[in-house]
Amino acid sequence: MDQTQYQAVRRRVVRRFRRRALFWPHLIGYAVYYAHVMSTTPWYIPAVQVWLPVLIVHALFAFEVPSRIRAAWDSMVERMVERELQKSRATDSKPKREALALGDDGELVPLEELTADESALRKRHERSQ
């Protein structure tokens, strides 16, 4: 591993650690403020209600939930694509109907049984139409 790769990995690890480390004081501050507001005056509740979604978003990014959801979504999509590919492979292996043509006597005959003269006549007839 060269130095630039090491630095990139180190930055990601430090960023992840910093997000998680800063989340806990944020949660404690919210809990203390909420306890204080609820014990004194309830008219500060809108401020608490605005802070809660911010805290939830902070928790989502601190614990990398969006990237985990994205990874789970991608793996689910890949499984579904693979399942569809397997289904299409299974249906492609079904035997096809034989190609049929009218013989001299008016009966349906597989194309392989037509003689060279009959197939030449058939081609000539198709071109003329």
Q: Is the pLDDT of residue 48 over 80?
A: no
pLDDT tens figures, 71-107: 888 888 888 888 888 877 776 555 566 677 777 787 8
Secondary structure of residue 86 in the 3-state scheme? helix
Q: Is the pTM of this model over 0.75?
A: no
The pLDDT score that the predictor gives to residue 117 is: 60
Measured in Å, how far apart are the chain's first and last C-alpha atoms? 71
The pLDDT score that the predictor gives to residue 36 is: 81
Place of tokens 């249906």: 91
Mean pLDDT of the chain: 78
Return the amino acid letter for 28.
I
* 81-86 long-range contacts, CB within 8 A, separation 24+: none
The pLDDT score that the predictor gives to residue 94 is: 56
Task: Give 1-65 as a DSSP string.
Answer: --HHHHHHHHHHHHHHHHHHHHHHHHHHHHHHHHHHHHHS-GGGHHHHHHHHHHHHHHHHHHTTH
Neighbours of 36 (CB within 10 A): 12
The pLDDT score that the predictor gives to residue 62 is: 83
Tallying the residues shown for the chain, one arrives at 129
pLDDT band at 15 (very low <50, low <70, confident <90, very high): confident
The pLDDT score that the predictor gives to residue 43 is: 66
